[in-house]
Structure 1
Amino acid sequence: MDVQIALLLGQDGIVNGAVYGLLALALVLVFSVTRIIFIPQGELVAFAALSMAALNAGRAPAVLWLLIGLAAVTLLVETWRQRRGAPVDWRSTLVWTVLLPVMAASMVVLRPASVALQALTTLLVVAPLGPLLYRLAYRPIASASVLMLLIVSVALHGVMVGLGLLFFGAEGSRTPAFSDLRFDLGGIQVTGQSLVVVGVTVALVFAMFRFFGGTMIGKALRATAMNRVGARLMGIPTDLSGDLSFALAGVIGAVSGLLIGPLTTVYYDTGFLIGLKGFVAAIVGGLASYPMALAGALLVGQLESFSSFWASAFKEVLVFTLIIPVLWWRSMQSVHVEEDEE
């Protein structure tokens, strides 16, 4: 391996690590606020990439019907909860179940021709799936153990993979790049799409840190993540915190799908491997630290890139093996506390 090949592999590792970093941030956010390991995060990535491909081919993405169905069921559930005397925030409910689905359906009917409008339509179709899935699958068991929530996540992942096969079939799709720019940088070919991926990732990460550090809603989410009971006693609506964290996860998943679609062929089940690599990066951060999760994502991206050169048949094995020493090190650094049985 010469220096030029090493630089090319390093560039690929940075681009892939940027996408894994977004997924790692979403997983850390959802887990810290709700204690849920959101395994279907990867399916949102695949749904976004394949929906973008469908729009680019002039077809309506079938995920729109999933969005409308989930919205209708959520609306019925909220109505039933109100009749049973449970408090319902109808402003947020109508946003997730009426406003955003209607906007998504309207954009799909208009058949946008430009790549920018197709990307916006994809965001409107995929991002609301996050809070709708939270309200239907997770909120009724929000007080359950982490293990029970994990089992529900695994089951939901299986359902969404099956729906992906039903919606898109077994054929893969690839979307056009957001930028066709190509230039030579020190003997290395740099593409515009790789710059778009890194630029959007940096912008989203900066926006998230500003959101959590400089806004009242972001600080409320941080308080919920630190102490859920204390946040509830201080008047913070923790149910809405779950809604918002899953909404952010939905946006991040949709953006990640748009970024990765031009880089590789995406299949209905591609999201699982992508999400799992994001999970490895989140584990490096202990499912708690955003900077460490980003560092772990760059490590995963570099390990995957160089492994594909030295041992391409075992690159996935080498990436997922990284989780073993990380878990061993964290187990040595932490004190195990038995949970009380309720």
Structure 2
Amino acid sequence: MVFAVTRVIFIPQGEMVAFGALTYALLEAGQLPGTVWLLLCFGVAAFAFDLVAALRARAGAGPILKAAAVDLVVPGLAVAAAMAIAGGGYGTTMHAAITLALITPLGPLLYKLAFRPIASASVLTLLITAVGVHLALVGLGLAVFGAEGLRAPAMSELSVELGPLLVSGQTIAVYLLAAISILALWLFFERTLWGKALRATAVNRLGARLVGIRTSFAGSLAFALAALVGALSGVLIAPMTTIYYDTGFLIGLKGFVAAIIGGLASHPVTALAALAVGSIESLASFFASDLKEIVVFSLIIPVLVWRSLTETHVEEED
């Protein structure tokens, strides 16, 4: 979705997952996560960008107030909510909701700071920028979360026997919420005005601008949805494995492999590709644990060769 709308291969998607997991784990442990300070700093920096742009354009008070609401008030409310419930023992549902509220605004703020100023640049330039943002977020993650890994307690003690398999409630929640997310995204893109605006921007940015769609808003919305999905993924995997500040790198790379197999276009096909990648990684870790990462990343080579030979090549839009 992010690539189709903005032409950005969003490598920092893995950081959204890792930050979501770490934030949720800290809230479950009764601590205030460092995400609140990260979000506040990003909001202040984004408001400074918008303020300078408004002053240069002599736009008046309206755009400045709007920028303050988006860059300062929305993150401030999320931070205030996190401070209010941290350590209060409000339960898993509230902690998960606060995690989503803290991570989701990071997406559009990142887009505003790093990608919107160069939105018309080439895909290669945007990719290099995405790599730089990823490296910056890894460093910031070390600063705000520390070097030690975190793991949240299980959301449920439920376990179900399916033949020889013992399936935990956490695993069931992963599959269930993944299916709900795919359905929700389909309804969003098919039934809502904002979703149709994103689709129009993905098909033709120039045409979308000509019919009155603000492509900058479409980019912010795409990044917000990506951050939301990443945060939800982090909440789901936090009780299943220990997450470190740099865990998002491998998560993002494996997700990228699945997205390439899915053609960077279809949510259901990408989800099936992700299941295939995970299954192959599990088999590889059983037969050759030292080579499991190589096996996973080698999957992308035949897919790229096949797509290069079978699909029509088009020039990049100016």
Could you tell me the TM-score, scaled by structure 1's length? 0.87
For 1:109, which of 67, 83, 98 is the aligned residue? 83
- The residue that corresponds to 2:19 in the other structure is 47
| Partner-residue secondary structure (3-state), 1:103 | helix
One of 217, 221, 225 as aligned partner of 1:244: 221
Q: Is the 8 A contact 2:259 2:270 kept in 1?
A: yes
CA-CA distance at 1:285 after TM superposition: 2.0
Structure 1 residue 51 displacement after superposition? 1.1
On the 8 A contact 1:178/1:196 being kept in 2, the answer is no
Aligned to 2:157: 180
Residue 9 of structure 2 contacts residue 127 of structure 2 at CA under 8 Å; is this kept in 1? yes
Alpha-carbon contact 1:96-1:132 (below 8 Å) kept: no
Deviations 1:302-340 (A, max 9, x none): 111222222222111111110000001011112445559
Cα distance in 2 for partners of 1:262, 1:170 equals 18
Once structures 1 and 2 are overlaid, which stretch shifts more, 302-311 or 199-208?
A: 302-311
Q: 2:44 aligns with which of 33, 58, 72?
A: 72
User: Cα offset for 1:95?
Assistant: 4.8
Q: Distance in 2 between matches of 1:299 and 1:100?
A: 38
Q: Distance in 2 between matches of 1:154 and 1:96?
A: 26
Give how far 1:89 is off.
Answer: 5.6
Equivalences for 1:200-215 in 2 at 5 Å? 200-215=177-192
| Mean Cα deviation higher: 219-228 or 95-104 | 95-104
1:300 aligns with 2:277: yes
- Shift in alpha-carbon separation, 1:307–1:96, aligned structure 2, 3 A: farther
1:63 touches 1:167 (CA, 8 Å); kept in 2? yes
Query: Map of 1:190-269 to 2, 5 A cutoff?
Result: 190-269=167-246
Conserved? CA contact 2:182–2:268, under 8 Å: no
- Counterpart of 1:312 in structure 2 is 289
Aligned residue identity for 1:103: L
C-alpha spacing 1:325/1:67, structure 2 compared with 1 (3 Å):
same
Query: 1:205-228 CA deviation, whole Å, 9 max, x = no partner?
Result: 100000000111111110000000
Q: 1:110-149 alignment to 2 at 5 Å?
A: 110=84, 111=86, 112-113=88-89, 114-149=91-126
1:53 CA drift (Å): 1.4
- Tell me, yes or no, if the aligned pair for 1:103 and 1:124 is still in contact at 8 Å: no
Verify the 8 A CA contact 2:51 2:64 in the aligned structure 1. Answer: no
Q: Which runs of 5+ in 2 are unaligned?
A: none
5 Å-filtered alignment, 1:259-338, equals 259-337=236-314
Shift of 1:76: 1.6
Task: Give me the identity figure in percent.
Answer: 51
Question: Aligned partners of 1:331, 1:91: CA distance in 2, in Å?
Answer: 48
Deviation at 1:286, TM superposition (A): 2.1
Question: Is the Cα contact below 8 Å between 1:96 and 1:128 reproduced in 2?
Answer: no
Deviation at 1:231, TM superposition (A): 0.6
| Aligned-partner SS, 2:149 | coil
In 2: Cα distance, 1:194 partner to 1:92 partner: 42
Instruction: Using the TM superposition, give the Cα deviation of residue 97 of structure 1 relative to its aligned residue in structure 2, in angstroms.
Output: 1.5
Taking the aligned partners of 1:222 and 1:86, their CA distance within structure 2 comes to: 33
Is the Cα contact below 8 Å between 1:43 and 1:271 reproduced in 2?
A: yes
**Distance of 1:233 and 1:46 partners within structure 2:** 38
* Cα distance change on mapping 1:118 and 1:92 into 2, 3 Å: farther
Q: Given residue 78 of structure 1, which amino acid in structure 2 is its aligned partner?
A: D
Question: TM-score w.r.t. structure 2 length?
Answer: 0.93
State yes or no: 1:32 paired with 2:7. no
Q: How far does the alpha carbon of each residue in 1:221-264 deviate from its partner, in whole angstroms, 9 at most, with x for none?
A: 10000000001001111110001000001101100100111111
Aligned residue for 1:60, secondary structure, equals coil
What's the CA shift for 1:291?
A: 3.2
Q: Tell me the secondary structure at the aligned position of residue 57 of structure 2.
A: coil
Whether 1:60 aligns to 2:12 is: no
Inter-partner Cα distance in structure 2 for 1:180 and 1:275: 29
Q: Work out whether residues 108 and 221 of structure 2, in 8 Å CA contact, stay in contact via their aligned partners in 1.
A: yes
Q: Please tell me the residue identity of whatever aligns with 1:288.
A: A
Name the structure, 1 or 2, with higher relative contact order (CA <8 Å, separation 6+): 1
Query: How many aligned residue pairs are there?
Result: 313
TM-superposed CA distance for 1:149, in Å, is 0.3
The one-character-per-residue Cα deviations of 1:248-284 (angstroms, maximum 9, x if unpaired) are 0110110010011111110111111011111001111
How much does 1:39 deviate?
0.5
The reply on whether 1:157 has 2:131 as its aligned counterpart is no
Q: Rate the CA distance shift 1:81–1:297 in 2: closer, same or farther, 3 A.
A: same
Where do 5+ consecutive residues of structure 1 fail to align? 1-28
The 1:339/1:228 distance shift into structure 2, 3 A limit, reads: closer
